[in-house]
Each structure stands twice: as C-alpha cells, then as structure tokens.
Amino acid sequence: MKRAVFPGSFDPITLGHYDIIERGLTVFDELILAIGVNASKKYMFSLEERMHFLQETFKNETKIKVMTYKGLTVDFCKSQDIEFILRGLRNPGDFEFEKAIAHTNRKLSGIETVFLLTSSGKSYISSSIVRDVIRNNGDYTSLVPDVVRVK
C-alpha cells in the first residue's frame, strides 16, 4: 500500500491544496494531511479550526486521515511508517524551494518527495494571499472550499 504525507499549515486550506490532494488520491492508497505545528508562527486560524476545515472538506474520503505534528516532517513520516511526501508546485520559485527540501529529506531519511503541478486555474492561489484578502474584507470565497467560508 502506497501512503504519503501531505504536510502544511493549511492556514487555511485553499482550492490549490484541494486540487493537489484530490489528484494525490489517484497516486496513493492513503494520504495523511499533516498539519505542522510551529509555536513561533502566528496563525490566522486556530489548530482546531484548521483540523475542522480539513476533516469536513474530506469527510467522505476514506483514504484521507488528518493529523498534526511538531518537528521535522521526515520524523513524522517515520513515526507513521510513510515512504512518500506529497507536495504541490505552483511556479518555478516553488520548485527551487521544494527541491532543496526534498533533497535534504531524502538525505536525512530516504523518504522520497513526489511533486504534482497545481492545475493552471489554481496556480495563483496561496494561503498567504487568501489571508490577505480576508484581512482586507475581500471576497475570498472562490479561493477556498465551502467549509472555510465562515469568517
């Protein structure tokens, strides 16, 4: 059984994340959506809200688990006996950043990273853009799953 971790802060989950997760389900038998917890980072949404967004969005998908973790993603993967990390790429900048992390993760642990390109219609969406739109009272509803449309 091929299992992968899709790590992120998901602050909040966007339709870009959703795109990668849905397409990742065609590659892997199980996906763990792993919310990384970083005590020094200021989040817009609480950990409980972010977990709820993911659980509610994928409540009918039996191949998905939602978990949280602290520390290195590869250590979390090892604790869950996971051999793959799934990551989405929106642009060349993402590729350069993610490539360095993937090489480091493989060197540290042997865990492979699998990249999927975000669909062209969603490649501009990022959580930071969504947060900025929310902070400025803009209409962010076309950028996120329905469950996030609560604020």
**Catalytically annotated residues:** 17, 41, 90, 127
- The CA distances from residue 17 to 11, 39, 72, 102, in Å, are 11, 23, 20, 18
**Are the beta carbons of 83 and 3 closer than 8 angstroms?**
yes
Instruction: Determine phi and psi for 136, rounding to 5 degrees.
Output: -100, 20
**Are the beta carbons of 65 and 34 closer than 8 angstroms?**
no
Radius of gyration of the chain (CA): 15
**Are the beta carbons of 29 and 56 closer than 8 angstroms?**
no
Name which of 150, 4, 1 is nearest 80 in CA terms: 4
Label residue 59 exposed, middle or buried (CB < 10 Å: 0-12, 13-18, 19+). Answer: exposed
